[in-house]
Structure 1
């Protein structure tokens, strides 16, 4: 899975850098979606990926995991979240992709809001899942991430490929969190 994500991420990044043919359907899809919902709605959805919104959810889940003795999982989740800006910021500067509604601006690839939402909500879900009877944490994380991504694209803050690239980039980080969470859960049940 990590290799597939890396190859697809590299392909998309290459297309963004060389302004390749993959950008044509990306732009067409963006044009078809932008402003199909009220801006007031899509802005609120996009805000789910704000650091001020998503990271406190993860911080609470990390504190809960530490309290439950799942320090390795908590550390992995915190490390994954710390890696998001360390990866996103240089990529935004390197690619300098203009925005859908702001062609004079740069730094839209990959989507930091999508990366933040996916990493914070999914890592929190992975930390909480072993302690819940129902399986709501992961579907809730997926829904929050999907709503964030939809808000970003439909509002015109990001191209669809910006969002997809962030999902591909952060999936390996979350596989590491899942591994650590599973390791701690097995240790605790043994």
Structure 2
């Protein structure tokens, strides 16, 4: 419910250019000051590298790999529907653009530099890289978690959460996205993950 409320409120503020967007401007200004003060090429490269982890070239293959490994482990364990993790991984990869692209086109929010959108641009809200990272790594961890013990389950969940958080923060640090674009991507991905966790059949 919290994720849904945050997503609705942020989307409403983006749609009406509301006062909450002042948070975006404040955060961007603060990040610029910190970057100027530190003047660290290493941190800047780290921010760009983290941002790239949210691209489909990285996150989607990880999603497919997680689904394939989970399916193989369930096949070895004699589970009847061992193929389900692979199907879920493929459907998730197809769902990401269906969630993100129409929203970007509808909100048509300019990026942090404030330049008008070109004819071939969809807009910046919500962050596609953040959504892709949250769902790509999150669903892979969710599928693998059903085939491993409690310790590995915790490690996979923590790894997915850190990757999704790192991608979002890297985007904000590198000035690729407004913070609220990132927050919306986290919420959108989180809602899908929660629904998927409830829908998948339970394992002993």
Superposition TM-score, scaled by structure 1 size? 0.87
Match of 1:55 in 2: 60
How many Å separate the matches in 1 of 2:196 and 2:23? 33
Aligned length: 183
2:5 aligns with one of 4, 7, 18: 7
CA contact (8 A) 2:127 2:177 kept: yes
- After alignment, is 61-70 or 153-162 more displaced? 61-70
Verify the 8 A CA contact 2:138 2:193 in the aligned structure 1: yes
Partner in structure 2 of residue 132 of structure 1:
148
Match of residue 78 from structure 2: none
The Cα of 1:77 is off from its aligned counterpart by: 4.0
Unaligned runs of 5+ in 1: none
Deviations 1:122-157 (A, max 9, x none): 111111123334221000001111110111000000
Other-structure match for 1:94: 106
Separation of aligned partners in 2, 1:71 and 1:120: 18
Match of 2:17 among 16, 19, 22: 19
Match of 1:30 in 2: 28
Q: Deviation of residue 167 (structure 1)?
A: 1.1
Whose Rg is larger? 2
Matches within 5 A, 1:59-78: 59-67=64-72, 68-69=74-75, 70-78=82-90
Instruction: Report if aligned partners of 2:70, 2:147 keep a CA contact under 8 Å in 1.
Output: no
**1:58 and 1:14 mapped to 2: Cα distance?**
31
